[in-house]
């Protein structure tokens, strides 16, 4: 029997505020944005739900949508995750994957990729940078203002999506 997944919007900057620490703190609290709310109305904490380890951070900036798909929990690490991950750009339809990629969690930024950071999300969730990334063998993820080797864009919204296993 195949498991069915329901989407959970664990964090959205439009509702939860524009600060990276709020994204990290979202692992301790449950939101009610599950696609089948009636089924989960008795669950008040994330710990009571069976969640997939797969997570997606979706960023919308300059009317472009891109992000990272990864496993693990940002809240449980100090420093970085070293897991398989993929970065994507919805407009181009492209996805780039890395088997052992590094996601650096800092209080002042979230960095995806080394040897050229594919995504650098600033702590106020107002700006994001990209550069071509050796680790993903990818070009810059989005268009924006060029500053040296980085392209920067104004962030419109950040979301962290999780999946509930039934």
What pLDDT score was predicted for residue 123? 94
DSSP label at residue 14:
H
What pLDDT score was predicted for residue 49? 67
**pLDDT exceeds 80 at position 19:** yes
Farthest CA pair distance, the chain:
52
The residue among 134, 72, 127 whose CA lies nearest residue 105 is: 72
pLDDT-based confidence at residue 31 (cuts at 50, 70, 90): low
What pLDDT score was predicted for residue 122? 96
Full-model pTM: 0.82
Distance in angstroms (rounded) separating the CA atoms of residues 17 and 48: 24
* Range 74-89 average pLDDT: 70
**pLDDT exceeds 80 at position 83:** no
What pLDDT score was predicted for residue 98? 77
DSSP label at residue 115:
S
- CA–CA distances in Å: residue 44 to residues 40, 41, 109, 123, 141: 8, 8, 29, 27, 36
pLDDT-based confidence at residue 46 (cuts at 50, 70, 90): low
């Amino acid at each position: 029997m195949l498991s069915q997944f329901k989407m959970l919007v664990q964090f959205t900057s439009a509702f939860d505020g524009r600060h990276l620490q709020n994204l990290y703190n979202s692992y301790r609290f449950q939101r009610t944005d599950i696609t089948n709310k009636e089924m989960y109305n008795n669950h008040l904490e994330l710990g009571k739900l069976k969640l997939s380890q797969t997570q997606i951070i979706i960023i919308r900036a300059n009317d472009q949508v891109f992000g990272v798909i990864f496993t693990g929990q940002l809240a449980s690490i100090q420093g970085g995750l070293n897991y398989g991950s993929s970065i994507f750009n919805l407009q181009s339809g492209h996805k780039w994957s890395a088997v052992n990629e590094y996601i650096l969690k800092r209080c002042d930024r979230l960095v995806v990729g080394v040897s050229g950071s594919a995504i650098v999300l600033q702590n106020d969730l107002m700006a994001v940078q990209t550069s071509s990334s050796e680790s993903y063998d990818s070009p810059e993820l989005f268009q924006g203002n060029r500053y040296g080797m980085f392209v920067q864009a104004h962030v419109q919204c950040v979301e962290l999506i999780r999946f509930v296993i039934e």
